[in-house]
Amino acid sequence: MKRQGGFTLIEVLVAMAIFAIAAIAVINATTSNIRSLSILKDKTFADWVASNKLNDTEYLSFKDGQKGTEKEAGIEWYWRLKKLKTEDSDFYAWEVTVSRSSDLTHPEAVMRRYVAVQESGK
């Protein structure tokens, strides 16, 4: 009797197990990528808002602790400016905190701009 060629049941099951493990790994990597993209998108928009506010300090008058909102990419962002002392008395820093939450407890961006005291005629 001639033996027919083909795969045994065990070989098929092992191949299917290997394929399943590889598919799960690809799905996990894709899910992680999508999650990271969403976080990076929010961080980028928050950085833009923070940068805009720091640029505004050069041309507009702000008070220490001033708060506000700005719409960027259809999202309402909350920001707060703080005027910070530095070790060098000739300089101070504006620090802006930006968050999607109004209490600013989980900031998406925090940036600083250092300013010479003689520029501070505001």
Give per-residue pLDDT as tens, 1-37: 667 777 889 999 999 999 999 999 999 999 999 989 9
pLDDT of residue 10: 92
Q: Which CATH class is domain 9-119?
A: alpha beta
Q: Look up residue 81 and give its two tokens.
A: 């400016």
Q: What's the confidence (pLDDT) of residue 44? A: 95
Q: Which long-range contacts (CB under 8 A, 24 or more apart) does 11-15 make?
A: none
Q: Indicate the average pLDDT of the chain.
A: 90
Per-residue pLDDT tens digits for 49-69: 999 999 998 888 889 999 999
| Domain ranges for the chain | 9-119
Q: List the beta bridge partners of residue 83.
A: 94
Of 24, 60, 29, 52, residue with least CA distance to 109: 52
Nearest CA among 114, 42, 121 for reference residue 84 = 114
The backbone region for 80, taken as left when phi is positive above 0, alpha when psi lies in -120 to 50, beta otherwise, is beta
pTM of the full structure: 0.70
List pLDDT tens digits, range 67-81: 999 999 899 999 999
